[in-house]
Structure 1
Amino acid sequence: YQAYDRELERQVALKLIRSDLAANPEILKRFKQELILARQITHKNVIRIFDLGQADGFKFITMDYIEGEDLQSLLRRKKKLEPAEAANIIAQTCRALEAAHAEGVIHRDLKPQNIMLDKRGRAYVMDFGIARSTLAPGMTQTGALIGTPDYMSPEQAKGQTLDARSDLFSVGIIFYEMLAGQTPFLADTTMGKLWKRTNELARPLGELDKTIPPTLCEIVRRCLEIDPHKRFASAAELLQQIEVWQGPKAGTRVLVQRVGGLPAYVKWAGTGLAVALVAAGFFLRSKLGTRLAAPHAPVSLLIADFDNKTGDPVFDGTLEPMLGIALEGAPFISSYNRGQAKKVAARIQPGASHMEAALAQLVAVREGVNAVVAGSIQKERSGYKVYVTTLDPATGRALLKEESDASNKQDVLAAAGKLAERIRKGLGDTTPESAQKSAAETFTAGSLEAAHQYAVGQDLQQSGKWTDAINAYGQAAKSDPDLGRAYAGTAAMYANLGKNQEAEKYYQLALERIDRMTDREKYRTRSGYYLLMHNQAKAIEELSALVSQYPADTAGHANLALAYFYGRNMSKTLEEQKRAMEITPHSLLQRVNYAMYALYAEDFDTAAKEAQSILNENPKFDQALRTLALAELGRGHNEEARQNYKKLQGVGAYGASIASTGLADLELYEGRLTEAAAILERAIADDRAAKDEEAAADRTATLALTELARGKTSEAVSAAG
C-alpha cells in the first residue's frame, strides 16, 4: 500500500505482515532483529526500511515508496529485455548487493518481484532480511528452505549454510530470464526445479539465442555454477565484469578487496589504468610492418622531432610517425610511444616545446630505449633532401647515417620509406626485399597533406585531445579516402569518448580498407574492433598472432595483457605485461601497468614493491603513488596509505583530486564520518572551480550517503539534490 508517514513527512510503502506470522512473538522478535540489521544498508539502489509498526491490530513494515513497477511486471509485458537494458538492471542490483553484503546482510529471496524500477530506469532492491525473519522458532538457517524456489541457489535448496554467493546465483537466474525470456531450470514441479539446479548445469544462453552477447552468456554461466567456489567471489567482482562489457560510459568504479574484508566503499576509478594503457598504445597508435619475424634481440627506437628547414609547415611533425611505421617493418623493432616520450621530456626539461635529438637521448636513457633516430629535411634546388641519423642514447655516437633525395613534395614520403629500409637493414633486418617493397606500398599516403593530417591526429591523440584528433583524422581521410589507418584512428578516439556506435562505424570503414595495411596494422585494427565489441576471445587471437610474428611489439604485449584482464585471466594478464616490461625494462609506464594489474589480482605485496621502485626514480608519478596507497590499504597499513595520499595531494590538480577521494575513503573506513564529509565538501568545491562537473557529481553522491550514515537526513537530501 501507499501511505503517508506524518513523522517522516513523506510518502512510504506499507507492507502488511501475514496474521499467522504476526501472531507469533518469536517471529516478530526476529523481524525486528533482521530489520534493524537491514536498516543499516544505505545505498541509492536499496529500498530502505523505516519501521515495524502496528495499527488496528495489523503489523506492518514501512519503507521507501517508489513510483514505478517491479521487474516481474516488466518481464510480463516485454517477455525479455535487450542486453543493454538487462545489464543495466543487473549492474544496479549488484551495487545494492555489494552494499548489503558489506553489512553482513544476505538477501536470500532475490527475485524479479523484489526489484523495483522507477520511471528514470533506476533499479531498487527491497525486502532485505525479511525472508530469514519468517523462520519458525528454534529453526536456524541450516536446514531451512527459505526463499522462492524458482530463484534459489543449490545450497539454499539443500538447506545448507549460505553466504553472499547464494545471492549471486539468484542474480544469474534473473539475468538469464531477462535475456532469454525464461528461467534456466524448467520443470513441472517445484521439486523438479530444485533437483535440476542441484544436479544439472543450466542450458547455455547462446544455444537459446545466438544474438545474446557471448560475454554476457559467460557472466551468467559463471553465476549459475553449482559449486559456490566457482562463481564470482563477490557482487563487486560480478559488477566489474558487467561494467567492462558496458564500456567506459558505465561510470565504472573498481573495488579492490583484501583478504579479511576491505570495506565495500574503498573504491577507486578505473580510469588510472585506462589512461596508462592508452599511453601504452591500446587505442591503436597505427603502425605498419611486415611478416617473417627474425630471431633477433628486440630493439626499441625513439624518433626525435625532425628539424624542418624547408619553412613549409606541411612537414611539421609529418615524417616522424610515418618513419616509425616504416621502421617497424622489422619484426624485432618497436617504436617507443612519442606521446609518452614527450611527457617524460617535459619533466626532464620543463617548458621544452621541441624534442630535439639531445633531449630525446635523455628520455631514451631514462626509459631504457635502445636507440634514438634523429633527422631533418631541407629544400634544395632539385627538390628535397631528407637526413636521418641513428644514435646511441648513452654516448651520442652515430650508429647509422642515411640520406635520400626527393624530386617533389609527394616523393618525400617514399624517400622516408627508403631511409627506414636502410636503417632496418643496418640494425640487422633480414626480411626479404620483396616483403619490404610490399610494405612500402602501404606506407605511403595518397598525398603529403593526408600524411600530415594523420600525423597531427597522432600527436593530438597522444596528448589526450581526442575530439581534436577525430577532426584531424577526418581531414586525413578527406585528402586520402583510402587511408585505412585514419579511419582506425577515428574509431579509437570515439571508443575513448564512449561513443561506441560511432567507433564501430569507423572500425568497419577501416576494415573495408584493410588491404592497404600491413600485418601489424591489420592485427591492431581487428583486435581493437573485437575489444570494442567485447569479443575478448577474438581480440586475444589477433593479439597473440601479432606478438607471435612481432615479438618485440611492446604495445602488442601490453594490449594482450589488457584483453586477458578484461576476461579476468589475471595470471595471463601479468605474464603478458611482464613481457612488455622485458622489452622496455626501464619504462615507468609498463611498470606502473604491471603494479596496477598486481593490485587487481590482490597481490598487494608485489603491487606495493613495484610502485615503490617507480617512486624511487620519480617521486611524483601520480599513478604510482595512488597504486602504492591502495596496495598499502590492501595490506591493512592504513597510516601508510594515508601518507601516500597526502604526497599525492602535492602532485598537481589530478593528483589532489584522486587523493581527496582516497583520504575520504580512509576516514569512512575508520568510522570518522564528519572528517570524511569535510574532505568531500572541499573536494567538491575544487571540482566545481575546475569545472569538472562529473567528478563533482560523483563526490556529491558519496557525500549524500555519508550524511545519511551520520543521521543527517536533511543534509543528505540537500547534497543529493
Structure 2
Amino acid sequence: MKCSKCDFENPADTKFCGNCAEPLHPAEEAPAPPTKTLQATPIELKTGAIFAGRFEVIEELGRGGMGKVYKVLDKEVNEKIALKLLKPEIAADEKTIERFRNELKFARKIGHPNVCRMYDLNREGDTHYITMELVSGEDLKSTITRIGQLPTGKSISIAKQVCAGLAEAHRLGVVHRDLKPQNIMLDKEGNSRIMDFGIARSLKAKGITAAGVMIGTPEYMSPEQVEVKDVDQRSDIYSLGVILYEMVTGRLPFEGETSIAVAMKHKSEPPQDPRELNSQIPEDLSLVILKCLEKDREKRYQSGGEVRAELEAIEKGMPTTERVIPKRKPITSKEITVTFSTKKLLVPVLAVLAVVVAVVIVLLLLPQKEIAKTSVAVISFENQTGEKSYDYLQKAIPNLLITSLEQSKYLSVTTWERMHDLLKQIGKEDVEAIDGELGFELCRMEGVGAIVMGSFVKAGDIFATDVKVLDVKTKKLLKSAQSKGEGVGSILDKQIGELSKEISRGVGLSEQKIEPSQLRIADMTTSSMEAYNYFLQGREEYEKF
C-alpha cells in the first residue's frame, strides 16, 4: 500500500507508513479530500524552466514526504542551490506554514560545515517552496541499504561530524527532532551534513496515537517523543545512538510489524548489545551507543560534544589503517564507465599517479597526527584580596588566559562566550561566576578534557595569581602554578604569559610545542587592566542587546 504522504510502499496489512508513520487507508476507506487546497496536483518543473523569475531548473533531485526537490541555478546570485516544492496538502495548512516560517528563523542561524544551510520559505502563486544549500552526494540511509553495516572507522567518522553539527545547533537552541539517516547527506568528499533542521517541528506529523501529536520517525524516536513530552538536545542524542547502532550493525535496535510497535519498544524495551550483532565493534563503542540509547535522558550523554569526545578517544585507539579521514574524493560514475580501450592506455599512467598520490596522502596525514588538539576550558577565578574593587579580575584573568592559550595550534580552548551558551542550555544564564562544580558540569557537557581554575591575592603592592589544572573526568590535579608581580598591571605584563605556559605543560604539551614566540598578551589586547575591564563590560552589554 502506497503512503499518500511520502509515496513509500508498505505491506497491504500495515496501518501506518513505515517511513513517516502517516496513517494508511485502504482505497475503499480513503478519507475525503480536504475542502481547502491550494491546487489539485503539485506542479512539475522541467529542466531549463525558470521558476519564480530567478531559479533555472537543472534537474530533479528526489521526492519525499514534503514534496519534490530540484537542483536549480539562482540567477540573481549565479549560485546553484536546492529548491524544495511543498506538497499542496502541506502548504494548504496555514498554521503549518507559519510554524515553519518561525522555526526557519532559528534554523537559518546555524552556520556549520556539518549542517545544510536553510535559506528561505517563499511563495510563487499557489506554490510554497523552500530554498537551501545544495549538498551533492547520497543520504546515509541509502548508503546503509546499499552496503549493509559500515566499517567502524567510517561509522565513527560520520558520527563525529554529526556530533559537531548537533553541538552547534544545540548551542543556538535548535533541536532537530527528526534526526535519521535519511536526513544525513554524505557528500563526494566524505563529509557528513545534517539536513532539514526546523522542518520536523513545523510539520507536526500526526502521531500513531489518537490522543497526542508526535514529532519524529518511529524507528529513530526517543522515548520522550513517543510519550509526547517536551524534547531537548538529548532527544537528538538518542536518535544519534540509533543511527550509530544501525551503521555498525546494519540493523535497527528495534523492529516491528507496525510503527506503533516500534515506537513502544523505544519506550519500554532495552536494546540488544550491538556487539552481539557485530563482534568487530570495539567494546567502548558499544557502551557509547548504549548510553546514547538510555530511556532516561538524564542517563544519556548531555551534549554532542560529550559524544564526540568519547568517539575521538575510541578512534585514537584504533589502527591508523582503520581510521577514516573526511575530504577524500571518491571515484565518480564517469570515471567508472570509461571505455576498455581508454583504460588500457591509462593503466601505466594511473599506476604512477596512484603511487604519487599515496605518498602525498601519507605526507599530509603524518603532520595531522602531531597536531591533535587538547581541549581546555578556563572558569572564573576567586578574588582573595578582600577588596571588591578587584572583583572584575574574576572574569578578566580567565578571558586573558583564553586569549593567550588560543595562540597555540595544539590546544582547543573553550571560549567564555561558549561557556555562557552552555549555562543558558541548563537554565543558569544568570550565574555571575562559574565555580568548580558548575565548571566541571559545563566541561562534561562540552566534552572538554582539562579545566583551569584559580585565585588571586594582594599583599601590599604585590599581586599573585594561582592556577590549577585538573582532569575533567577524574578531577585529578595535573598542574599547579603561581605567578606574581608588582601592581595589577603585572597580570598583563608577565603573569598571563607565564601561567599560559604552565597550563600548557599541565595538559601534557612538550616544551617543543609550547610556543616560545607567542605574542605578549599586552601586545594582543591592551597594556591597561582598566581599559580591558571596560572592554569586557562593553562586550557583556552587547551580548545582552
Q: CA deviation at 1:621?
A: 3.8
- Is residue 2:18 matched to residue 1:150? no
What amino acid sits opposite 1:220 in the alignment? Answer: I
Q: CA deviation at 1:601?
A: 7.1
Q: CA deviation at 1:97?
A: 0.4
Report the counterpart of residue 517 of structure 2 in structure 1: 653
- Is residue 2:102 matched to residue 1:33? yes
Question: Given the alignment, which residue of 579, 592, 595 partners 2:469?
Answer: 595
Aligned in 2, Cα 1:61/1:597: closer, same or farther, shift over 3 Å? same
Secondary structure in 2 matching 1:132: helix
Task: Give the distance between the partners of 1:255 and 1:19, measured in 2 at CA.
Answer: 51
Aligned in 2, Cα 1:223/1:253: closer, same or farther, shift over 3 Å? farther
Task: Give the distance between the partners of 1:210 and 1:234, measured in 2 at CA.
Answer: 28
Secondary structure in 2 matching 1:42: coil
**1:2–1:65 Cα contact (<8 Å) kept:** yes
Q: CA deviation at 1:614?
A: 3.4
Question: Given the alignment, which residue of 183, 192, 203 partners 1:123?
Answer: 192
Question: Given the alignment, which residue of 80, 96, 107 partners 2:176?
Answer: 107
* 1:517-666 equivalence runs, <5 A: 595-598=469-472, 611=480, 613-615=481-483, 619=495, 620-623=497-500, 652-654=516-518
Report the counterpart of residue 375 of structure 2 in structure 1: 254
Report the counterpart of residue 239 of structure 1 in structure 2: 308
Aligned in 2, Cα 1:198/1:236: closer, same or farther, shift over 3 Å? same
Question: Given the alignment, which residue of 260, 269, 277 partners 1:200?
Answer: 269
Task: Give the distance between the partners of 1:667 and 1:120, measured in 2 at CA.
Answer: 44
Task: Give the distance between the partners of 2:272 and 2:540, measured in 1 at CA.
Answer: 45
**2:122–2:128 Cα contact (<8 Å) kept:** yes
Task: Give the distance between the partners of 1:87 and 1:107, measured in 2 at CA.
Answer: 20
Report the counterpart of residue 473 of structure 1 in structure 2: none
What amino acid sits opposite 1:163 in the alignment? Answer: D
* 1:289-688 equivalence runs, <5 A: 595-598=469-472, 611=480, 613-615=481-483, 619=495, 620-623=497-500, 652-654=516-518
Tell me the percent identity. Answer: 34
- Is residue 2:84 matched to residue 1:15? yes
Task: Give the distance between the partners of 1:270 and 1:122, measured in 2 at CA.
Answer: 23
Secondary structure in 2 matching 1:187: coil
Total equivalences in the alignment = 322
**1:108–1:131 Cα contact (<8 Å) kept:** yes
Q: Deviations over 1:645-690 (max 9, x none)?
A: xxxxx98325769x979x9xx99986989xxxxxxxxxxxxxxxxx
Task: Give the distance between the partners of 1:257 and 1:143, measured in 2 at CA.
Answer: 45
Q: Tell me the TM-score normalised to structure 2 length.
A: 0.52
Gaps of 5+ in 2: 1-69, 317-367, 381-397, 413-443, 451-465, 486-493, 508-513, 526-531
Aligned in 2, Cα 1:159/1:25: closer, same or farther, shift over 3 Å? same
What amino acid sits opposite 2:136 in the alignment? Answer: E
**1:115–1:126 Cα contact (<8 Å) kept:** yes
Report the counterpart of residue 436 of structure 1 in structure 2: none
Structure (1 or 2) with the larger CA radius of gyration: 1
- Is residue 2:161 matched to residue 1:92? yes
- Is residue 2:288 matched to residue 1:219? yes
**2:469–2:503 Cα contact (<8 Å) kept:** no
Aligned in 2, Cα 1:135/1:152: closer, same or farther, shift over 3 Å? same
Task: Give the distance between the partners of 1:240 and 1:114, measured in 2 at CA.
Answer: 23
Q: CA deviation at 1:9?
A: 2.0
RMSD between aligned residues: 4.3
Task: Give the distance between the partners of 2:232 and 2:248, measured in 1 at CA.
Answer: 26
Task: Give the distance between the partners of 1:107 and 1:205, measured in 2 at CA.
Answer: 25
Gaps of 5+ in 1: 274-567, 575-590, 631-649, 674-721
Report the counterpart of residue 458 of structure 1 in structure 2: none
Secondary structure in 2 matching 1:167: helix
Q: CA deviation at 1:234?
A: 0.7
Task: Give the distance between the partners of 2:277 and 2:172, measured in 1 at CA.
Answer: 37
Task: Give the distance between the partners of 1:145 and 1:224, measured in 2 at CA.
Answer: 19
**1:27–1:136 Cα contact (<8 Å) kept:** no
Secondary structure in 2 matching 1:615: strand
Choose between structure 1 and 2: higher strand proportion: 2
Choose between structure 1 and 2: higher helix proportion: 1
Task: Give the distance between the partners of 1:167 and 1:272, measured in 2 at CA.
Answer: 28
Task: Give the distance between the partners of 1:205 and 1:152, measured in 2 at CA.
Answer: 18
Secondary structure in 2 matching 1:652: coil
**2:140–2:184 Cα contact (<8 Å) kept:** yes
Aligned in 2, Cα 1:668/1:151: closer, same or farther, shift over 3 Å? farther
Q: Which runs of 4+ in 1 moved over 6 A?
A: 265-270, 600-603, 666-669
Aligned in 2, Cα 1:627/1:232: closer, same or farther, shift over 3 Å? farther
What amino acid sits opposite 2:164 in the alignment? Answer: R
- Is residue 2:229 matched to residue 1:160? yes
